[in-house]
Amino acid sequence: MRKCKGFIWVVAVMMAVSWSAVAGAADIVIGYSGPLSGPAAEYGEDCLNGVDLAIQELNAKGGITVKGRNYTFRLEKMDDRVDPATAISNAVQLRKDHKAIAIFNPVANTIAAMMKINQEKRNEFLIMAYTSMPQISEMGNKLLLALTQPFTIYVKTQADIAWERGWRKGAMVVTAGTYGDTWRKAFGEEWLKKGGTITFDQPANYYTRTDFAAPLTGALETNPDFLLIGGPSSTTALLIEQARARGFEGGFVMIEQAKMDTLAQVMEKPLLLEGVIGLARVSDVTFPASAAFTFNYTNNYKRQLTWESVVNYTSMHALAKAIVVANTTDDAIAIRAALPRVFPMLGDQYPLEYFGVSSNGRLISAAAVQTMKHGRFTQPILYAWWPKSQKEFEQVQKTTKMSIPMTWRNTGDM
Indicate if the alpha-carbon torsion angle 208, 211, 212, 218 is positive or negative. Answer: negative
Counting the structural domains of the chain, the total is: 2
Are 335 and 385 found together in one domain?
Answer: no
Residues 6+ apart with CB under 8 A from 2: none
DSSP per-residue string spanning 271-297: GGGTTEEEEPPGGGS--TTHHHHHHHH
Are 238 and 379 found together in one domain?
Answer: yes
Report yes or no on 342 lying in a domain: yes
Report yes or no on 7 lying in a domain: no
Are 108 and 203 found together in one domain?
Answer: no
The two most distant CA atoms of the chain are separated, in Å, by 99
pLDDT in tens, 120-150: 999 999 999 999 999 999 999 999 999 999 9
Model confidence, pTM = 0.90
As a whole number of angstroms, the distance between CA 143 and CA 100 comes to 14
Are 374 and 348 found together in one domain?
Answer: no
Are 337 and 387 found together in one domain?
Answer: no
CATH number at residue 357: 3.40.50.2300
Residues 6+ apart with CB under 8 A from 139: 112, 115
Residues 6+ apart with CB under 8 A from 109: 82, 84, 177, 178
Report yes or no on 45 lying in a domain: yes
> Which SS3 state, helix, strand or coil, does residue 218 take?
helix
Ranges of the chain with pLDDT below 50: 1-23
What pLDDT does 414 receive?
61
Are 117 and 72 found together in one domain?
Answer: yes
Are 319 and 388 found together in one domain?
Answer: no
pLDDT in tens, 368-397: 999 999 999 999 999 999 999 999 999 999
Are 159 and 218 found together in one domain?
Answer: yes
Are 170 and 266 found together in one domain?
Answer: yes
As a whole number of angstroms, the distance between CA 111 and CA 361 comes to 14
What is the domain range of residue 38? Answer: 20-149+287-364
Q: Are 303 and 53 in contact (CB under 8 A)?
A: no
Are 355 and 379 found together in one domain?
Answer: no
As a whole number of angstroms, the distance between CA 200 and CA 216 comes to 10
